[in-house]
Structure 1
C-alpha cells in the first residue's frame, strides 16, 4: 500500500526540483557558481524569465497525467495524449523538441501510439533518446504501485506517446518501479526494479543504473538531457543524499538540464523522506502546491 506522506512528498519533490532548476537551466556548473555561488533557494527570472517557484514542462506534463488518472481512475492514453496536446496549444514557455514534434502530429490527426514512433524513427542517434517522458511519468508510480506488471506496461505506453526509444520506454518502467518501491517501503527499490525489468531493457541503461550507488564516481556523473544520464544522475542523488534538500540542490548545481535532473532527483528524494522532509520555504513558493497535494492524495487511493 502506498504511504500517503511519501506520495505527497514525491510529487512535491518533483516540482521542487523542477522549479529550483528552472532559472539556471542550460547553464554550466561554473556559470551557476559564478552567478549564484550555490543555488539553494527558489529564484526569479533567469532562464525563461519566470517568477520564483514556477514549474516547467516537467511538472506541467506530470499534472496532465495525474489529472487524467484522478478523473478516470485508470490509464486512458487517448485522454492523456489529448491533455498533452491541449497543454502544447497553450504555448508553454518550455517544451522539448521530440515532445513538440509528436504532439504536433497528434494534433494533426496521428494516433497517440503512432506519433512518438514516427518522431523517433525520423531522428538520428544522439537526438532520439531525450528525457522528456521520464520527467513526467512518476504519477503512474502512485496509481499502480500495487500492480507492478501494469505499472511497467503503462509506463512504457505513456512514454511512447512522445518518446518511443527503448531507452526511454524501459527507463520510465524501471524508474517508476523503483519509485513504487519507495512509496511502499521496499528497502532496495532500484535493485528490485532492475531484477524485474532489466532483462527487457537496453544494456546501456541497465549498466548505468546497476552502478548505483557504489559503482559511481560522483564527479563523472552527467546532467545532460540524454535519458540515461538523467536517470543515473537523478537516481544517484535521490537515493544517496542525506536529505531531500541535499539531493535536489546537488542535482541542480551540476548545471545543464537542471530542471529535469532536479525533478528526477526530487521525486526520488521526496518519496524517500516524505513531505515533511522537503523545505517548507520551497513548497510554499510552488506555483501549484495545493493541486499537487490534492492530486497525490486522490491517485494514491485508486
Structure 2
C-alpha cells in the first residue's frame, strides 16, 4: 500500500513546480514597477506575458522537469541517456521558452552530454544558469536514498551546465527536498542544508541581487522566499511579483513549498488551473512506484 503522506508530498512537489511556473510566466522579464502598473500584485494564474501563455500553460521549467522524470522512469538505474532523449524530444516540439545555455548544449550535442556542456561553457564563456536547478526535483522524488537522489541531481545538471555551482545548487536543493519528504519542518530543513554556505544570509535577509538567471542569485531568492513566507500561496505569489526570471524562481521555490504542504495543502484554484494536470498526476503515480521499488543501491555515472 502506498504511503499516502509521502505520495501527497511528492505530488505536491510536481504541482508546486508547475504552479510557480505558470504564475510566474505572466511576469517573466518584467520589472517590479511594470508588474505593479499592470497587475498590482499578481495572485492568479492568468497567462499572457512575453510568451503569450494561455491561463495555466507552463514553460520550460515544468516541461524539462517532466523530461527528467520521464527519463528516470524509463531507466531508473542509469537514466542519463533516457533523460537526454527526452530533452531532444522536447526540443523538437519547438517550445516557446528555452534557456540560452540549454539551447546551445542541445544544438551542439553529438553523443556525449558532458562534452556538450563543456563545449557550451567554453563557447559562451559561462554556464552558471539556473536551467538545471529548475528541473532537478524528480531525482529527490524518485529515489528514497539520499545518495542516489543527490547523485542523479548532480549528473543531470552536468548534462547541460558545466559550472560546478549549478550541480552544487542542485545537490543542496535535493537534500532539502529529501528532508521535507521525511516530514521535517521547512525552516529546519533549510537551515540544516544552507548554513555555512553562501546562501545562509538569505534565511533572514533579502538578497542584494536581481532575480535573474544566475544560479547563485536564483538560489538566494528561493531560500529567502521559502524562509520568510507563511504558506504555499505566499511563496509562489512573491516569486511571481519579483519579475525577472520569475517563472523559474517560482517553479524552484514552488517545488519545495509543494512538498512541504503536500498536494492537499495547495489551493485548489491553483492546481485546477494547470493545463497538464493529467500528465502531472500520471507522473506522480509512476515516480511513487519507482520510489517504492528502489533497492537503495547507488546508481553509477553513465559517462
TM surpasses 0.5:
yes
Q: Which residue of 1 aligns with 2:100?
A: 97
**Offset of residue 194 of structure 1:** 4.7
The alignment covers a number of residue pairs equal to 285
Q: Which residue of 2 aligns with 1:151?
A: 149
Q: Which residue of 2 aligns with 1:203?
A: none
State the secondary structure of the residue aligned to 2:203: coil
Matched, 1:213 2:203: yes
Change (3 A) 1:231 1:260: same
Q: Which residue of 1 aligns with 2:22?
A: 19
**Offset of residue 293 of structure 1:** 2.1
Return 5+ residue gaps in structure 1 as ranges.
Answer: 199-205
Change (3 A) 1:293 1:75: farther
Q: 2:139, 2:150 within 8 Å by CA — same for their partners in 1?
A: no
Q: 2:180, 2:189 within 8 Å by CA — same for their partners in 1?
A: yes
Matches of 1:100 and 1:137, distance apart in 2: 17
Matched, 1:49 2:39: no
Q: 2:23, 2:45 within 8 Å by CA — same for their partners in 1?
A: yes
Q: Which residue of 2 aligns with 1:190?
A: 190
Q: 1:66, 1:295 within 8 Å by CA — same for their partners in 2?
A: yes
Matches of 1:31 and 1:77, distance apart in 2: 40
Matches of 2:182 and 2:28, distance apart in 1: 32
Return 5+ residue gaps in structure 2 as ranges.
Answer: 291-303
State the secondary structure of the residue aligned to 1:167: helix
Matches within 5 A, 1:64-83: 64-83=67-86
Q: 2:20, 2:253 within 8 Å by CA — same for their partners in 1?
A: yes
* Pairing partner for 1:224 from 209, 212, 218: 212
**Offset of residue 273 of structure 1:** 0.9
* Pairing partner for 1:165 from 163, 166, 172: 163
Q: 1:120, 1:165 within 8 Å by CA — same for their partners in 2?
A: yes
**Offset of residue 75 of structure 1:** 4.2
| Moved segments of 4+, more than 4 Å | none
**Offset of residue 65 of structure 1:** 1.2
Q: Which residue of 1 aligns with 2:296?
A: none
* Pairing partner for 1:238 from 226, 236, 239: 226
Q: Deviations over 1:47-97 (max 9, x none)?
A: 111200100000000111112222333341011111101111111100001
Q: Which residue of 2 aligns with 1:128?
A: 127
Matches of 1:271 and 1:239, distance apart in 2: 14
Q: Deviations over 1:175-194 (max 9, x none)?
A: 11111111111342234435
Matches of 2:219 and 2:47, distance apart in 1: 27
Q: Which residue of 2 aligns with 1:253?
A: 241
> Normalization by structure 2: what TM-score?
0.89
Q: 2:207, 2:224 within 8 Å by CA — same for their partners in 1?
A: no
> Normalization by structure 1: what TM-score?
0.89
Matches of 1:211 and 1:178, distance apart in 2: 17
Q: 1:239, 1:268 within 8 Å by CA — same for their partners in 2?
A: no
Q: Which residue of 2 aligns with 1:111?
A: 112
- Alignment root-mean-square deviation, CA: 1.8
**Offset of residue 221 of structure 1:** 5.5
State the secondary structure of the residue aligned to 1:47: coil
